[in-house]
Amino acid sequence: MSDVDVEVEVDVDAAPAESAPLVKTVLDMLNEEKWTRATLSNYSEHQFRELDELLKDALEKRLYDEIKKACDEHLSHTKNSIIALYLSGMINLSRQIIDDSSLVSLVTIFVDNHKVSIVKYLCERILDYGESKFALRTLADCYKNDDEEDRVTGIWERLVKADYEEADLAKSLAENAERQGKSDEAVDYYKKALHRYINKQQFTNVREIWAKLLDYCPEEIDFFLHVQKRIAKNISQDKAVALLEDVYTSCRKRNDIDTAIDILKSILQYNERDSRARQEITGCFREKYAAHSQLEEYIRISNLNQSYRNVHEAIQDFEKHIAFDKGNFVYHRTWGVGRIARIQGDDIVIDFSKQRDHSMSLKMAVNALQTLAKDHIWVLKAIWKKEKLHEKVKNDPEWALKTVIRSFGNSCDIKRIKAELVPSVLSAGEWTNWNTRARDVLRTDPSLGVSPANIDLFTVRERPVSRDEKLYNEFKAERGFFERVQTLRSFVAEKDVELDSDYFIEMHTYFTAFLRSYSQVTEQVVASYLLLKDLAGRYPQLGAPQLSFPELFNGIEDIPAVFLGLKEAKLREEFLSHIKLLIPSWPDIYIKLFPWSLTSSIIASLEREGKEEELTAMVRTCFENYRDYREAVVWLYKNAVNTPWFARAGISEEKLLITLIHILDISYREIENHRDTTENRKINRQVHGILFRDEALASFIDGADTDAILRLFTYISDVKDLDPADKMKLRSRIVDKYPDFHFFGDTEKTLVTRGLMVTLSKYNEKQRQLNHIMEVEVPANSKDIAFALSLGDLRENAEYKAAKEKQDILNSTVAKLKDEIDRAQLFDPASVNANRVSFGTKVRLLNNSTGEEEEYTILGPWESDPDNKVISYLSPFGGAMLNKKAGERFVFSINDEKISYTVQGISAATF
């Protein structure tokens, strides 16, 4: 393109009178550009800097939308308007909108006209908002034409990070670092190039770089094993085998026999009929076990070097047999840990602690015994002094973790680790502190990772695992979608995150897949969109999701359900933020979402928008439908009850409290029926705290009339699972204010026919007894059972039988205590009625047979103490006295003897 005129084909409409002055300025500039027929030679960096100042002013005045609209309308008539292209493109860029066609067109115009200084300025302005492959390539060309090689290299380094498909540049940078003696840097770039050539299926380049990396870092076996799997998948298995053979050769040169065996096993996985690999692995086994007394015999028995037997079965058989040799340890489920004393022909002789010189055939030993490494935790328990093992485990969690994990197939969870250490090595008290330290080790130690198949299983890596690989393995092992969101966030939390690594790409692809193939907008689809958009904001080279949020949002069928499905707080915040910014009807949606989100930011946003009438209507809806909006009712009472819009709902204090009492009752019943137990316990604690700890009920009683108090207390009395102590305190508060208050249902007969009348002190004592059994005795018994199980054969295991008997006793005691506590009706001393013999009274009796006076206190079975004249109202004698008035006579029969009594007097007992 030559130095062309930039002109408008049609006039730009004059700015409307009501438009902002800055918008009018832009329109005037566009008109001036047209009328003066500005040529490209007239443009310099200075003009673009002035445009940048204008953009800054527009941002402060929130005029981006008006200016962009004017520029886009202008571009519809002329595609070469420099001002319109720049302003529209920069506004798009600042908003992270994918469409960068305006700036690409603008840069191309100046490139074609050889305006290098402007091209550089424009590219650098684009890069101010994040890496752009187009801007970087263009800038690199500019620096190359100016012979600025150092700057070219810097741009290439950025381009390799931004463009995940750029393989040749990565290779060139690696070779450049190699020439400068920067081997670590060279390795990093060679690895990038290798991955990219694999994606392009360019095996010649792959093999060349593979050889380079084998020279530089032959010990990074995990890397080579990981990459060969991708080669097998993307190119072919034969090519993967060819590269594995190179790794095998490298291992043999370094005398790394164990890794050489692992490589040969991988080769045989691809082709079990590979005779050379079979021959090589037999040779490796001979070299590794050269000192083994039964080596050749075990090779013969397993048919390892015979082609007619399946090679994998032969290897497994050989490795199982080779573990049996003099001095090695074994485990028998009855006799425990033993050591092989000698092997005589087909017989093996083992020394167990309780069974010395035990002989069995090799075939039986292979089937009946478990071979143990010399550092297996069971072996250490058997041969180390208890004090030595205790100190080592206690002071060195890293060693202890690796020892236990390796002991069980290099796959172990925390429960198994605890079972092995408590109580045989550590006490329960020591475990608590040790466990905290151990979890720190599991999180930070590079040689400890998780199983890719199960996030709960930990493994020991012979070669330290990188932080990225550790997080990637956790990502693969996670079962839940939102746990994977957290893992990806952790992955990108580092400053120098490798966005083109296999690990990141696979994790990123997992979420992009949700947006590519969804039929329904679920919480996973929304979460994927928000997460990917957040990542694109931080790393523009990733590219934002193609669809818009309004488009996605319009596909949501149940907005509250999707919101509740977002199990991460940050995702919920981003969801609400996007709704407010991009959905015009956001206030209505906020009102609809509040009962589920319960966030003060929603209320504050609605208040700022003057939506108080809507808030008042929401309050009425929540309280009228409290069964569906229990959490919202509690939140509003705690946080908004004093706001004007809440007051305008016209809900009386009595109705507010009655609603809370209903919610309390519902939560108790839901807990009892095991429905949403965690959520209901939370609601229950909150409402109980409002009513009793914060004294909302007490405050109401102090200012209410007797009718209102009676209604309120009736509702409280109907909450059968409420602690009787709470009811009693509330009753006492009422009696203190109104001494003659008559409670609904009160009669002279104070005893109830159902339940068990108890005093507060005995009730608390029984609660403490139950808590002690549940929190101390039951856990201790569980540990005793676990320890007894570890001893082996249950048929002759006295410890196991004793522990199980104790378990039965504890279960029976717990069941009995729970039943009694559930039936307990707490006695209120203020309710004692001395007109009749009842619970809580002291009775003077005249024994008409002897003429002697006797005095008894009537309480319950928990307080009964006949030696001290305390009689249970449920006992035969107590039952005979119940409801008698002073002066009444009654007859009590005992041991076929009838005794006549007269009630002399009744008074309230002292507590």
- Record the tokens describing residue 133, joined without a space: 């492959």
User: Residue 77: enclosing H or E segment and its boundaries?
Assistant: none
Residue 125 and residue 679: Cα distance in Å, rounded?
Answer: 52
Amino acid identity, residue 209? I
- Residue 131's pLDDT is what? 81
Residue 704 and residue 654: Cα distance in Å, rounded?
Answer: 9
Inter-axis angle of helices 677-688 and 653-672, nearest 10 = 150
At residue 442's C-alpha, the angle toward residues 478 and 438, to 5°, is 130
At 35-53, the pLDDT tens digits run 655 567 778 899 999 999 9
- Residue 244's pLDDT is what? 96
* Strand ranges (E), 275-380: 329-332, 336-344, 347-352, 358-361, 370-372
Residues of the chain with pLDDT under 50: 1-19, 746-754
- Residue 869 CB neighbour total at 10 angstroms: 12
Residue 805 and residue 633: Cα distance in Å, rounded?
Answer: 49
- Residue 77's pLDDT is what? 83
- Residue 420's pLDDT is what? 93
- Residue 524's pLDDT is what? 96
- Residue 496's pLDDT is what? 67
User: Residue 731: enclosing H or E segment and its boundaries?
Assistant: helix 724-737
- Residue 10's pLDDT is what? 33
SS3 percent helix, strand, coil of the chain, rounded to 5, is 60, 10, 30
Report which of 143, 145, 147 is spatially closest to residue 158, judged by C-alpha positions: 143
- Residue 2's pLDDT is what? 36
Kindly provide the b/e burial profile for residues 390-429, where b requires at least 16 CB atoms within 10 angstroms of the residue's own CB: beebbeebbebbbbbbbbbeebbbeebbbbbbbebbbeee
pTM for this predicted structure: 0.61
SS3 130: coil
Question: Per DSSP, what are the bridge partners of residue 344?
Answer: 347
Residue 189 and residue 174: Cα distance in Å, rounded?
Answer: 5
In degrees rounded to 5, what are phi and psi of residue 585?
-90, 30
- Residue 531 CB neighbour total at 10 angstroms: 23
- Residue 439's pLDDT is what? 92
- Residue 495's pLDDT is what? 59
H helices present in 163-236, as ranges: 168-179, 183-199, 203-216, 221-234
